[in-house]
């Protein structure tokens, strides 16, 4: 009778044979792969991956790739250079297509940029890509592109100026209408300010843009002949001043020794000329910046202004003093405040001088000189009018004292070593003592106290 005892072996339970009955397993022999072969295959695989990366980038499929693939793409050697080359090539290709067919808005090519570029070729591209545009064109056409663009823009400005300037001879009243022409010129030249800035971003274009900015300013007005105090609107002045200020600042950053002496002197003459016609908006900020970088120009200008104002004060004084000398001969008695009233007219000019670089110390000396010439030294005249005239506060005393106090405070704050307040105070006290004899006590009353403290 067969036994009902179960086998404890799972192999036997499922009908497997005993281990002793199993055939022997064949032994495995490992094949060694040469290291050089592994290295070669690895390099080949890397090259294939890099080629695939380049294919994805050049095919502008990077945006469609998954995050993990993007991570691999960004990490492979030479990825940055490949990205730059591909982007530059695509932009240039798009720009060329746009140049051939300006009916297709450039913004439609790249809606993700979130901008809408004008259909106008020069305005659209140059305005929105002013910095990168110059570099891309340099890659494409070389340095000659900058020179050609400079020449073309300068010729356009000259042509615009010649067309408008020629209309002056056709006016019935050229002198009265010249201001309208100047306004028209300024309006026309305003549209070129963006082009000047564009030139500055071309390779090697910054010095040329500096020349163009000054040239554009010179072509924004015509010679006006006789001075006519008539304020006119000049649309080109604010944007052109802004452009020139940026250009000179960038030139200074590239070359700390940048000091355009001749250009600053020419600009100074133009500003003075236009100032005679009440035009004070011509390169004000740019000129002040250049002024600080060209101390010799600044010194020459303030010295000239100082001499000019001092000459006017002297001429005015001598003319009035002559009248004082002769007044007793015709039994008349001119106003004793006459000189002081005339001298008060120079206060504003001295204040403007003080605001110019290197002008503060000269302005201090000049306001004291003005004070010394605000009264007559004719003792006989003083004797005649002292008993009959009550001068009170003279016209120049208050403004001159206030100005001198402010100037001396500024000089002390900026630590001007050549101020020499004691010497100045000695001169002031001579006039103070003299006027005190004639009951005039408001002459430099506050500024004299400040000078004694400095």
Contact 237, 289 (CB under 8 A): no
* Distance, CA of 257 to chain centre: 17
Same domain, 286 and 318: no
What pLDDT sits at residue 247? 96
Estimate the crossing angle of helix 206-218 against helix 193-200, to 10 degrees: 160
d(CA 410, CA 429): 22
Q: Is residue 270 part of a domain?
A: yes
- Domain that residue 315 falls in: 311-453
What pLDDT sits at residue 225? 57
Domain final position from 293, 319, 353: 293
Q: Is residue 3 part of a domain?
A: no
Q: Which residue has the tokens 């009035």?
A: 320
DSSP class per residue in 168-229: GGG-SSHHHHHHHHHHHHHHHHHTTHHHHHHHHTSTT-HHHHHHHHHHHHHTT-----S---
Same domain, 213 and 243: yes
Q: Is residue 256 part of a domain?
A: yes
Q: What is the pLDDT of residues 282-337, one digit of tens each?
A: 999 999 899 888 888 778 888 888 999 999 999 998 888 877 777 666 666 666 67
Q: What is the distance between the terminal CA atoms of the chain, rounded to a whole angstrom?
A: 137
Q: How far is CA 199 from CA 132, 133, 206, 278, in A?
A: 12, 10, 7, 32
What pLDDT sits at residue 16? 47
Domain final position from 86, 115, 144: 115
Q: Is residue 190 part of a domain?
A: yes
What pLDDT sits at residue 433? 86
Same domain, 252 and 320: no
Same domain, 95 and 183: no
Same domain, 393 and 348: yes
Same domain, 374 and 434: yes
Same domain, 169 and 268: yes
Same domain, 289 and 191: yes
Q: What is the pLDDT of residues 113-137, one digit of tens each?
A: 333 333 333 433 444 455 666 666 6
3-state secondary structure of 276: coil
Q: Which residue has the tokens 């002292």?
A: 386
Residue burial 97-130, b: 16+ Cβ < 10 Å; e: rest: ebeeeeeeebbebeeeeeeebeeeeeebbbbbbb
The domain tally of the chain equals 3
Q: Which tokens go with 177?
A: 């209408």
Same domain, 449 and 330: yes
Q: Is residue 410 part of a domain?
A: yes
Phi, psi of 235 (to 5 degrees): -65, -25
d(CA 273, CA 223): 9
What pLDDT sits at residue 254? 92
Q: Is residue 44 part of a domain?
A: no
Same domain, 438 and 331: yes
Q: Which residue has the tokens 């001969």?
A: 329
Domain final position from 115, 144, 161: 115
Q: Is residue 240 part of a domain?
A: yes
Q: How far is CA 225 from CA 175, 177, 182, 228, 374, in A?
A: 7, 11, 12, 9, 35
Same domain, 239 and 317: no
Q: What is the pLDDT along the chain (454 residues), one digit of tens a residue?
A: 444 544 444 444 444 445 455 555 555 556 677 777 777 788 888 777 777 766 666 655 555 666 776 666 666 666 667 666 766 666 666 666 655 555 444 444 443 333 333 333 343 344 445 566 666 666 667 778 889 989 999 999 999 999 887 776 655 454 546 667 778 888 899 999 988 988 998 888 999 999 999 999 999 988 765 545 555 668 899 999 999 999 999 999 999 999 998 999 899 889 888 887 778 899 999 998 998 888 887 788 888 889 999 999 999 988 888 777 776 666 666 666 778 889 999 999 999 899 887 889 999 999 999 999 988 776 555 555 544 454 557 889 999 999 999 999 998 888 777 788 888 888 888 888 888 877 788 889 899 888 888 7
What pLDDT sits at residue 253? 94
Contact 447, 404 (CB under 8 A): yes
Q: Is residue 220 part of a domain?
A: yes
Same domain, 148 and 286: yes
């Amino acid at each position: 009778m067969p036994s009902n005892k179960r086998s404890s072996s799972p192999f036997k339970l499922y009908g497997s044979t005993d281990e002793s009955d199993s055939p022997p397993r064949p032994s495995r022999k490992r094949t060694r792969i040469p290291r050089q072969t592994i290295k070669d295959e690895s390099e080949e695989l890397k090259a294939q991956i890099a080629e695939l990366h380049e294919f994805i980038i050049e095919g502008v499929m990077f945006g469609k790739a998954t995050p993990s693939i993007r991570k691999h793409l960004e990490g492979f050697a030479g990825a940055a250079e490949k990205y730059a080359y591909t982007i530059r090539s695509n932009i240039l290709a798009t720009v060329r297509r746009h140049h051939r067919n300006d009916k297709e808005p450039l913004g439609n090519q790249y809606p993700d940029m979130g901008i809408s570029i004008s259909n106008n070729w020069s305005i659209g591209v140059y305005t929105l890509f002013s910095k990168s545009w110059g570099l891309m064109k340099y890659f494409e056409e070389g340095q000659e592109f900058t020179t050609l663009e400079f020449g073309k823009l300068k010729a356009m400005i000259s042509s615009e100026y010649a067309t408008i300037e020629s209309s002056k001879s056709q006016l019935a009243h050229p002198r009265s209408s010249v201001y309208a022409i100047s306004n028209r010129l300024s309006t026309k030249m305003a549209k070129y300010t963006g082009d000047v800035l564009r030139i500055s971003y071309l390779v090697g274009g910054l010095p040329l843009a500096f020349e163009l900015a000054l040239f554009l300013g010179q072509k924004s007005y015509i010679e006006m002949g006789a001075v006519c105090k008539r304020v006119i609107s000049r649309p080109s002045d604010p944007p052109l001043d802004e452009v020139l200020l940026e250009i000179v600042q960038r030139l200074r950053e590239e070359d700390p020794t940048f000091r355009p002496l001749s250009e600053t002197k020419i600009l100074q003459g133009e500003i003075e000329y236009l100032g005679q016609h009440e035009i004070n908006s011509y390169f004000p900020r740019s000129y002040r910046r250049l002024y600080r970088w060209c101390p010799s120009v600044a010194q020459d200008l303030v010295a000239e202004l100082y001499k000019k104002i001092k000459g006017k004060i002297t001429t005015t004084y001598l003319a009035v003093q002559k009248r004082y000398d002769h007044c007793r001969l015709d039994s008349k008695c001119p106003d004793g405040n006459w000189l002081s009233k005339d001298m008060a007219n120079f206060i504003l000019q001295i204040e403007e001088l003080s605001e110019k670089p290197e002008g503060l110390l000269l302005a201090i000396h000049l306001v004291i000189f003005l004070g010394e010439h605000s009264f007559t030294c004719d003792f006989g005249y003083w004797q005649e009018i002292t008993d009959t005239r009550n001068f009170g506060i003279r016209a120049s005393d208050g403004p001159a004292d206030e100005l001198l106090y402010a100037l001396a405070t500024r000089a002390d704050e900026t630590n001007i070593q050549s101020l020499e307040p004691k010497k100045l105070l000695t001169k002031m006290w001579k006039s103070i003592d003299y006027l005190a004899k004639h009951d005039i006590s408001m002459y430099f009353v506050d500024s004299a106290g400040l000078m004694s403290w400095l």
